[in-house]
């Protein structure tokens, strides 16, 4: 399997950014590392090995981006106004600079599949939901799909655009993106074991937003032994790939529901710009 390393200057960020490429042809896949992860994370955590057969058969070409999470979503002591705008700069680096570079290097003319685990799942979902014209598939594993915890409740027009639950809640039912979403394939999956509490609650919240907006997506909730770890993500990613690529029909849903504990906290956005009734629906669990 051919592996190449690249370091190129980003005008959006005013710095060099790195990425790695695995494979030499096939469907282009943009992978986003997990929290504070670097471009080599997917190799170190075993995900490249999990996809090795697909890469060696030239069915996939994997592009692993670099992040600046330590300056943005994970910089808990930083000024949220600045952090949000740094994140937006990184977003534009990916969609305006890295994606065209991937299309040039891949040269198959196919739209990209975007994938991620944990914080990477949030990033992948944010890219897909904001730019469905660039991506035709999404696999998001064990993510949190709102920015309340990342920015301690801070909200402005820039943060709004990168908060999937909030921005989709404010989307009109006749928005053209809804039809685009429904012509693509999305998978959101998380376990119900240790460390998955936040991801489980967030995935269920996003599912309710999708249901209200008529957006079709596969929401899978795996068993109580499935924890927040690369051990499981390395199994889930190759499991879902054939279905997202349209090569196999969807399998039965893997879902084991249980009641939420009484202390589960669903954050309330005091500065949410959408109407009160929509806010009540979005956080209906608060009023049970």
Return phi, psi of residue 168, to 5°: -70, -35
Angle (CA) 83 177 117, round 5° = 50
For 56-109, write each residue's pLDDT tens digit: 999 999 999 999 999 998 988 889 999 999 999 999 999 999 999 999 999 999
Structural domains of the chain sorted by starting position, each given as residue range(s) with its CATH number in brackets: 3-287 (3.40.50.1820)
pLDDT for the residue 25: 87
Q: Is residue 152 classed exposed, middle or buried when 0-12, 13-18 and 19+ CB atoms within 10 A define those classes?
A: exposed
Share the mean pLDDT of the chain.
86
Instruction: Determine the average pLDDT of the residues in 122-143.
Output: 97
Q: In whole angstroms, how far apart are CA 72 and each of 68, 77, 83, 227, 269? A: 7, 10, 5, 26, 20
Instruction: Please say if the pLDDT value at position 111 is more than 90.
Output: yes
Instruction: Please say if the pLDDT value at position 288 is more than 60.
Output: no
Cα 39 from Cα 42, distance rounded (Å): 7
What percentage of residues in the chain have a pLDDT greater than 70?
A: 86
Cα 177 from Cα 266, distance rounded (Å): 27
pLDDT for the residue 271: 30
Instruction: Determine the average pLDDT of the residues in 3-24.
Output: 96
Q: How confident is the model at residue 246 (pLDDT cuts 50, 70, 90)?
A: confident
Q: Is residue 260 classed exposed, middle or buried when 0-12, 13-18 and 19+ CB atoms within 10 A define those classes?
A: middle
Instruction: Please say if the pLDDT value at position 255 is more than 60.
Output: no
pLDDT for the residue 253: 63
Virtual CA dihedral for 50, 53, 55, 58, nearest 10 degrees?
-160
Neighbour count for residue 181 (Cβ, 10 Å): 22
Instruction: Please say if the pLDDT value at position 268 is more than 70.
Output: no
pTM assigned to the model: 0.87
Instruction: Please say if the pLDDT value at position 229 is more than 90.
Output: yes
Instruction: Determine the average pLDDT of the residues in 130-138.
Output: 96
pLDDT for the residue 259: 43
Q: How confident is the model at residue 276 (pLDDT cuts 50, 70, 90)?
A: very low
Instruction: Determine the average pLDDT of the residues in 232-255.
Output: 83
Query: Which contiguous run of DSSP H or E holds residue 235?
Result: helix 230-244
Instruction: Please say if the pLDDT value at position 282 is more than 80.
Output: no
């Amino acid at each position: 399997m051919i592996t190449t390393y690249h370091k190129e200057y980003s005008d959006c960020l005013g710095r060099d950014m790195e990425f790695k490429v695995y494979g030499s042809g096939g469907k282009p896949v943009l992978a986003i590392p997990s929290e504070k992860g670097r471009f080599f994370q997917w190799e170190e955590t075993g995900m490249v090995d999990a996809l090795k057969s697909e890469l060696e058969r030239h069915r996939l070409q994997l592009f692993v981006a670099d992040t600046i999470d330590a300056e943005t979503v994970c910089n808990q002591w930083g000024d949220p106004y600045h952090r949000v705008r740094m994140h937006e700069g990184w977003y534009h680096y990916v969609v305006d600079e890295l994606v065209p570079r991937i299309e040039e290097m891949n040269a198959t003319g196919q739209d990209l599949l975007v994938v991620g685990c944990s914080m990477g799942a949030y990033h992948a979902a944010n890219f897909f939901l904001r730019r469905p014209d660039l991506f035709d598939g999404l696999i998001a594993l064990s993510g949190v799909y709102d920015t309340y915890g990342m920015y301690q409740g801070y909200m402005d027009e820039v943060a709004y655009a990168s908060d999937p639950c909030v921005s989709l809640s404010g989307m009109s039912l006749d928005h053209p993106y809804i039809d685009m979403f429904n012509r693509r394939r999305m998978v959101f999956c998380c376990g119900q074991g240790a460390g998955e509490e936040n991801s489980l609650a967030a995935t269920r919240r996003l599912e309710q937003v999708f249901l209200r907006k008529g957006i079709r997506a596969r929401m899978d909730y795996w068993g109580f032994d499935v924890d927040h770890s690369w051990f499981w993500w390395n199994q889930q990613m190759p499991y879902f790939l054939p279905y997202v690529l349209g090569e196999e029909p969807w399998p039965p849903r893997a879902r084991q529901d249980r009641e939420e504990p009484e202390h589960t906290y669903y954050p309330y956005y005091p500065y949410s710009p959408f109407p009160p009734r929509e806010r009540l629906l979005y956080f209906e669990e608060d009023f049970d």
